[in-house]
Structure 1
Amino acid sequence: MATTFSAREFNQDVSGAKRAADNGPVVITDRGEPAYVLLSIAEYEQMRDRRSLLEVLQMTEDIDFEPVVSRTLPRAAEL
């Protein structure tokens, strides 16, 4: 669970916020609304290096594919 600091608390205790960031994200609020998140560099790098689902599923090589052309004609609908 993230620790929360108000902007005022953060300004008065930056060292405390840094210590808290060693244990997980620190949410910094501005007028009661979340505005910033302080992370340790290790957490940031882990998050930055994580690949998205789109990147995982993306195929980088071409696939040789020859579609079969259908020679059958459609039938007229019976109503």
Structure 2
Amino acid sequence: MGGSLSSREFNQDTSRAKKAASEGPVFITDRGKPAHVLLSIEDYQRITGGHRKIADALAMPDLADSEFDPPRVNIGLRPADFS
């Protein structure tokens, strides 16, 4: 069930961290305090509802060719009445 690793342990054994993340979140600590969380993609998608936000896509330039199809929003505009 996930676990906790120090930053040093994470850097030295990423495969161990990945295995642990397949069983639950792995907290990566820095100076003894939680600093990051490593999740499996399935857990990430479950938490986020499977929807990637535009800010996430922009923060990942290597995924520039990925599809992004935001949902259409109907605002229902009507003319303003200035009388």
TM value normalised by structure 2: 0.57
The residue number in structure 1 matching 2:20 is 20
- State the percentage of identical aligned residues: 58
Is the CA contact (8 Å cut-off) linking 2:2 and 2:22 kept in structure 1? Answer: no
Distance 2:2 2:11 in 1: 18
The residue number in structure 1 matching 2:39 is 39
Q: C-alpha root-mean-square deviation of aligned residues, in Å?
A: 1.4
5+ unaligned residues in a row in structure 1: which ranges?
51-79
Structure 1 moving runs of 4+ over 4 Å: none
Number of aligned residue pairs: give it: 50
Please report how far the alpha carbon of residue 2 of structure 1 lies from its aligned counterpart in structure 2 after TM superposition.
4.1
Amino acid of the structure 1 residue aligned with 2:44: Y
Distance 2:9 2:36 in 1: 13
TM value normalised by structure 1: 0.60
Residue deviations 1:14-34 (CA, integer Å, cap 9, x gap):
000000000000000000000
The structure with the larger Rg is 1
The residue number in structure 1 matching 2:6 is 6
5+ unaligned residues in a row in structure 2: which ranges?
51-83
